[in-house]
Amino acid sequence: MVTLNLTIQKIVPVAPTSITQTLVSNNCGARVYRFKASTVAAGLQYYWYLPTSIGGVSGVTLDSGSIWGQTIRLSFVSNNAALVTDSIKVVSYNGCSSRVVAKKIIQLAIAPPLAPTSIKIDLVQNTVCDARKYRFTAPNLTAATAGNGAATGWNWMFTGALGASATIDSGTSSSRVIVVTFSSNAAAVVGDSVKVRYTSNCAFSRWKASKLMNKVLLKPAAPSSITITALSTNVCGNRVYRFSAPALPAAVYTELATITAATGYLWSFVGSFGSNAVIDSGTINSRKIRVVFTSNDAAGIGDSVRLAYLSSCGTTANKSIKLPIPAKTGCPSSLKPDMKTTDLDKSLHMQISPNPSSDKFKLQITGATADSKATAVIMDIQGRIVKTYSFNSNTSLDFGNDLMPGIYIIRVATGKEERVMKIVKQ
């Protein structure tokens, strides 16, 4: 009998030497990793031992591949950081298992995206005082990193009292670029800011804040002066003046405010005498105007010419100047003298003229007998005697400052003749 001794030797396969881990997708709540075991000889199979949790939170599932393959993909529903006990293991297998090779899962906790790096601010419209527009532009969306999730969108916000007046004119609070109208003309203070942050699958990023660039928009200052040129001052009833305004001031820009440019002129005349002003050349919006005053009254304190600038913010304060219209007294009557004689001697003459040295009338009588006495009787339009004067003929009589403005009748008589004249005291 032949005896065959059979010795069975258990051959343990060679274990993989390493496991590599590659991030496939980086969503905050569910990330996918690819794991690959190193190659072993003889085309042996592999067998993977999956972790039961990450950071104590379960939810590790096979995303693709097989637990018998060299490469598998795992999906982690948790974003927790991996603990020491959170590991994936693999063995090579040919009926017998090799030594187990283990690798701690590199599961970093994913944070929201970093805050946007900047906000670009462009002025779109500043010609309207109480409604200016700015364009705000946020940076592009940032991609995911190993530690931060990908940005998926934008979120805008405005703070402070000025921010409360902000209305999005174009775009939405989720747009990358928005155009904003500010209905307030207040200056931006420290608390008035625009903010933008990224949205993501994890959470919002931190804010990027920038102080609002909404400077105060002011009207121009009132005109500095009014130039007055007399064109005709020797007409008792009508005088003509030219009024000239300064050139339109340009806009002035400062750190805290912008003074708008003047865009035009606005003339006005006030007071009882100002109501007699008629613009003869130009208009109330011209830089220079020629004005005829139909009244010869003296300009009172309330009689003035005023000039304001027009601007996109509105009308400025007025520059006022008293009208330089002194009353021209003693002008010849606007009514034709009514003269008559009582006999055939027509040598008596009388006339009234201004006295250049005083605010009086001068009554001049010529042609009468030398040193004869003359009588002048002043009556109002109703025939009531106001004044009576006696004086020598061939001389002059100064009067007028005792008379109120109005129409009067002067009756002058000598020994032979009488003259009657109507005058107007202005």
Q: Same domain, yes or no, for 97 and 125?
A: no
Q: What angle do CA 225, 229, 235 make, to 5 degrees?
A: 140
Q: Same domain, yes or no, for 172 and 202?
A: yes
Residue 336 lies in a domain: no
Residue 341 lies in a domain: no
Q: What is the CATH number of the domain that holds 306?
A: 2.60.40
Q: Same domain, yes or no, for 57 and 93?
A: yes
Pairwise CA distance, residues 276 & 257, whole Å:
41
Place of tokens 């072993």: 40
Look at residue 342 in the predicted model and tell me its pLDDT: 38
The answer to whether 412 and 374 have CB atoms below 8 angstroms apart is yes
Look at residue 384 in the predicted model and tell me its pLDDT: 75
Look at residue 155 in the predicted model and tell me its pLDDT: 98
Paired with 23 in beta bridges are 33
Q: Same domain, yes or no, for 132 and 73?
A: no
Residue 343 lies in a domain: no
Q: Average pLDDT per run of 10 along the chain, which is 426 residues long?
A: 62 85 84 92 84 87 93 90 89 82 86 95 80 93 88 96 93 97 88 96 93 88 95 70 96 85 96 88 96 83 94 93 75 42 47 54 62 76 76 69 72 74 70
**104, 139, 160: which is the final residue of a domain?**
104
**303, 322, 341: which is the final residue of a domain?**
322
- Structural domains of the chain, count: 4
**255, 287, 322: which is the final residue of a domain?**
322
Look at residue 416 in the predicted model and tell me its pLDDT: 65
Residue 391 lies in a domain: yes
Q: Same domain, yes or no, for 98 and 144?
A: no
Residue 7 lies in a domain: no
Q: Same domain, yes or no, for 130 and 205?
A: yes
The answer to whether 189 and 205 have CB atoms below 8 angstroms apart is no
What is the signed CA dihedral for 44, 45, 51, 54, rounded to 10 degrees? Answer: 80
- Identify the H or E element spanning 364: strand 361-366
Q: Same domain, yes or no, for 283 and 315?
A: yes
Q: Same domain, yes or no, for 239 and 280?
A: yes
Q: Same domain, yes or no, for 361 and 307?
A: no
Amino acid in the structure at residue 15: A
Question: Any long-range contacts for 74-77 (C-beta under 8 Å, 24+ apart)?
Answer: 74/32, 74/33, 74/35, 74/50, 75/30, 75/31, 75/32, 76/30, 76/31, 76/32, 76/33, 76/105, 76/107, 77/29, 77/30
Q: What is the CATH number of the domain that holds 360?
A: 2.60.40.3080
* Domain of 244, in residue numbers: 227-322
Look at residue 334 in the predicted model and tell me its pLDDT: 39
**Six-digit token pair at 293?**
């005053």
Pairwise CA distance, residues 215 & 325, whole Å:
45
Q: Same domain, yes or no, for 317 and 356?
A: no
Q: Same domain, yes or no, for 297 and 245?
A: yes
Residue 115 lies in a domain: no
Q: Same domain, yes or no, for 231 and 210?
A: no
Residue 337 lies in a domain: no
Residue 192 lies in a domain: yes
